[in-house]
Chains A and B, each alone.
Chain A
Amino acid sequence: MGRIQLHDIRKSFGAIDVLKGIDLTIDEGELVVFVGPSGCGKSTLLRMIAGLDKPTFGRIEIDGTDVTARSAADRGLAMVFQSYALYPHMTVRANMAFGLQNTNMPKAEIDTRIGEAARMLEIEPLLERRPGQLSGGQRQRVAIGRAIVRRPTAFLLDEPLSNLDAELRVSMRAELSALHDRLGATMIHVTHDQVEAMTMADRIVVLRAGKVEQVDTPLNLFNRPANLFVAGFIGAPGMNLWAGQAKGVSVQLDSGALLPLPLGVRVPDGPVTLGIRPQHLRPEVGGPIRAEVRLIEALGPESVVHADMGAGGGLLAVLPGQPDLGRGAVIELGYEPQFVHVFGSDGQRLA
């Protein structure tokens, strides 16, 4: 239970097309993360699946049944809102019971379910309190609890961690993943935070401007981004992307450097964009990349080096340890050729 299929979902507000034809299958029990910059349509897509908004065109199926015309209540889904949307005048218990009471469920059954969920989320001592008396993290748990008691076919989470402080966000991230393992239910999680996406997802859906850019596992997105956008969006700090001309087995960058391509990789001669992740650059005497250091962010175990290759070619390198480099120093860098990404002039991956 909990297989969700989207067929050519489109949404327009007046003349503005927010979603431009989304096809996607989310398998039973999967934790899928929708990620993308603000305004890419990820929340709109989630609301469409929830039934809070209707698509302008397209079909939504849950477990093979077309639910496009069904109301939100009839889809068997539960949503956790960014603001938690807890009823401020009700106790935690009443908040969790509210949805179940709509279905005329016997009180004993409601109590059992609330008890189970409260134990699982460790919020038993909070049951008689009101949301106003809870911390952000506690409210978050209650909001999840309110979803769990309904035993939905799938959970929809709309940026549930964005209102938490950094430390709490990391621990809640792990807890949500653990909860997903425990419940085994389908979850769709919306976020603009690519670290959240990478750490939690079985599969990530990268959206931009109402279109799916790539759907894949976190590591595949990192290792083989399908296009320039995904390459730049996934990974922190972002991938170095340099414009250049492919010539045989190497690429001549606009900044002057001549970089070899991996063995056996041939791309047609012409304009390309070459990408190397900052983590894949390493100091190498006589290496193909020479750059002048502009800034060093020393993080302790590693250092982020901002450097200038000349002719406007900026560079980011994450070097291990605390290299003894000053502003203005010239560094020589190399890389393993298999970590090079090449994108054509249309932005799509060539190699």
Chain B
Amino acid sequence: MISVTGVSHDLGGRAVLHDIELEIPKGKVTALIGPNGAGKSTLLSLIARLARHCAGRIMVDELEVGVCASNTLARRLAILPQSSEIAPRLTIEELVAFGRYPHHLGRPGKHDREKVAEALTLFDLDPLAQRTLDTVSGGQRQRALLAMIFAQDTDYMLLDEPLNNLDIAASRSLMALLQRLAREHGRTVVIVLHDINYACAYADHIVTMKGGRIGPQGDAETLVDGRLMHEIFGTDAVVHRIGGRTFVAV
């Protein structure tokens, strides 16, 4: 379980997170939703120690973020940041292989190579394995980055808007894959999503954020309704429930 207690954060003197209290359940897909500037990405990057939080405490199971060794955390938790400007001349296989670095520190063994092969196959990257990142499409690049995070083989995966650059087919298969990772492999997935419909369809748990504070949370069916859309997003979108599923009309 990831537990965040009393976390506040400033960016350039401006408070972006206020006294956050949050518990993210283990083995589930948790979606973070909210308007632009709500602090979702900031919260995610604090949990992944990309920035040092100003106040409060973040625990990933028994590991305290910022206190435990960075390498230890890298074997427990992985993050895919929003815009990863990553070495364009690497081949996809080389990039995915980097996911194993926290485990082997530069000397990959047989097990590491198997994990890389597994990730390449799972993300359907085998035919692209020897292509360099600057010669593949945005969606393929995104899949390669996800495969790297997957190969890192961590209990927790944090994804910051991974559906950017992906078309509907790729988005659906990625979300289905994340759901499978949670259900079958017991991985915990925390994902920042822009499109609420994807959150409703695939997340087990939805956390809303607004203005640097945590809003209501729950599952799609009980949480998402017209009032929530108005309160959190400030728009009067109509919410439909069809066949036990929730849809926000856009």
**Do these two chains interact?**
no
Interface residues of B (CB under 8 A from A): none
